[in-house]
Amino acid sequence: MFQSNISKFHSFDAKSRIEVKKEHTFFVYLELSLSYEYHELCFSLQKYLHSLPLYLALMTFLITLKAINMRKKKKIT
């Protein structure tokens, strides 16, 4: 599901396009999903992380921190 949602972004117009590269990790897509509020991408990322139980707790913590930081940045600017 996560990979299929990544491929959907090829159809966006040039202004909102996400550049998809093989070397991008899900951390890059996390950044993009939070920065540009691509909720479908974010939900897919969460489902992907649930398939990796050893990393789920760590990733959930990192996602929470990133989301808090993004909200703080939006309030400042």
- Residue 37 and residue 31: Cα distance in Å, rounded? 10
Q: How many whole angstroms separate alpha carbon 66 and alpha carbon 62?
A: 6
At 25-36, the pLDDT tens digits run 666 666 666 665
Cα separation of 34 and 73, whole Å? 12
For 31, list phi and psi in degrees, rounded to 5.
-60, -45
DSSP-derived letter for residue 41 is H
Mean pLDDT, residues 37-65? 71
Q: Rounded mean pLDDT of the chain?
A: 65
